[in-house]
């Protein structure tokens, strides 16, 4: 998947430990209070709706923390139904106050954890609309973060053009803010920009546009270098992504150089990512034509993954071993001739 807890991390970006996404509060408290008071005149029965939403969100959160998504889902469904008018807004729909908008965002995060991706997109879009109706601009940092989440979900769903549009919005807003030379660079804005560039890199790689992907990853790596300690866990993940892009460009020497760097960094900073990075190295060897080295590494890694029960990497190894076996067969036939 395009979004993962390994590659979507960016230090300090997650408030909920079960998800790689963050939940940054809006800026400008006095403006928001005034908007909230004004919008309350248009909120018919909003307090009851707000209290019910809070109850269901609380129950969802409790069950998710207890690893009981099957108990959280009914509460999510009821909360989602409560927001039906906001999700399918007409001219007659009352303007939601900001408290409802914040709760809609929280429910979107729950939808993401429940892997209800389409519902999450609907909730995040409703949050953006709720903010807009309360006078909050699309360039606001929290709105930018919502677009980042939407882009990441679209990427998971394989809707790459929609993901690209969302990420490009984030890049446009963040780079504009960072370009203001008279203001110090805000690390939160730099984090959003780095994540957006990384997202674009993954999307372009999935769209078979490796040249575009390479350019985006270079930007992402620049932000990572400025934001992170050299031993941050994100660094080997980005280096591994670089290797994948170079492999797609058939630049196997560069791919092997990047993946070796990623392995060395992961040994120190991110051992959890080490099996997938080692698997990527074996795959690069496979497609570079070094079948002997690829098989040796796959077989050694398979034993390690069986021992640590890394089933995702095991599936990838087994799939690539089938490709390797076919390449070995073709190579044997060529030698026989």
**Block mean pLDDT (10 aa), the chain, length 337:** 36 34 31 36 61 96 96 97 90 87 96 97 95 90 95 96 97 91 78 95 96 96 89 93 96 97 96 96 96 97 96 96 96 86
Residue whose tokens read 């020497």: 253
Q: How far apart are CA 124 and CA 17, in angstroms?
A: 19
pLDDT of residue 181: 66
Q: How far apart are CA 273 and CA 213, in angstroms?
A: 21
Answer yes or no: are the C-beta atoms of 155 and 199 closer than 8 Å. Answer: yes
Answer yes or no: are the C-beta atoms of 240 and 217 closer than 8 Å. Answer: no
SS (H, E, C) the chain: CCCCCCCCCCCCCCCCCCCCCCCCCCCCHHHHHHHHHHHHCCCCCHHHHHHHHHHHHHHHHHHHHCCCHHHHHHHHHHHHHHCHHHHCCCCCCCCCCHHHHHHHHHHHHHHHHCCCHHHHHHHHHHHHHHHHHCCCCCCCHHHHHHHHHHHHHHHHCCCHHHHHHHHHHHHHHHHHHHCCCCCCCCHHHHHHHHHHHHHHHHHHHHCCCHHHHHHHHHHHHHHHHHHCCCCCCHHHHHHHHHHHHHHHCCCHHHHHHHHHHHHHHHHHHCHHHHHHHHHHHHHHHHHHCCHHHHHHHHHHHHHHHHHHCCHHHHHHHHHHHHHHHHHHHHHHHHHHC
Q: How far apart are CA 9 and CA 30, in angstroms?
A: 32
Q: How far apart are CA 75 and CA 3, in angstroms?
A: 26
């Amino acid at each position: 998947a395009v979004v993962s807890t390994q590659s979507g991390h960016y230090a300090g970006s997650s408030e909920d430990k079960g998800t790689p996404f963050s939940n940054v509060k809006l800026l400008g408290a006095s403006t928001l209070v005034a908007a909230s008071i004004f919008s309350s005149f248009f909120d018919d029965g909003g307090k009851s709706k707000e209290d019910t939403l809070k109850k269901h969100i609380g129950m969802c959160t409790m069950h998710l923390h207890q690893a009981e998504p099957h108990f959280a889902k009914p509460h999510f469904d009821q909360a989602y139904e409560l927001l039906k008018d906001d999700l399918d807004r007409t001219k007659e729909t009352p303007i939601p106050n900001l408290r409802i908008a914040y709760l809609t965002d929280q429910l979107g995060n729950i939808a993401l954890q429940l892997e209800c991706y389409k519902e999450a997109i609907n909730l995040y879009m409703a949050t953006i609309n709720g903010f807009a109706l309360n006078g909050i601009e699309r360039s606001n940092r929290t709105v930018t973060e919502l677009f980042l989440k939407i882009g990441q979900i679209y990427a998971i769903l394989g809707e790459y053009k929609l993901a690209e549009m969302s990420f490009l919005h984030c890049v446009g807003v963040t780079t504009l803010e960072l370009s203001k030379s008279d203001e110090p660079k805000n690390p939160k804005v730099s984090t959003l920009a780095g994540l957006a560039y990384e997202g674009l890199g993954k999307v372009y790689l999935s769209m078979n546009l490796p040249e575009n992907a390479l350019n985006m990853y270079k930007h992402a790596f620049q932000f990572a270098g400025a934001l992170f300690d050299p031993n941050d866990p994100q660094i080997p993940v980005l280096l591994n992504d670089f290797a994948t892009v170079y492999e797609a460009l058939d630049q196997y020497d560069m791919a092997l150089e990047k993946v070796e760097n990623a392995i060395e960094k992961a040994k120190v900073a991110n051992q959890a990512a080490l099996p997938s990075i080692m698997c990527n190295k074996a795959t690069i060897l496979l497609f570079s034509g070094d079948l002997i080295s690829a098989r040796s590494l796959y077989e050694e890694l398979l034993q390690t993954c069986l021992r640590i029960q890394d089933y995702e990497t095991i599936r990838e190894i087994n799939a690539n071993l089938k490709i390797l076996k076919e390449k070995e067969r073709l190579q044997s036939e060529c030698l026989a001739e």
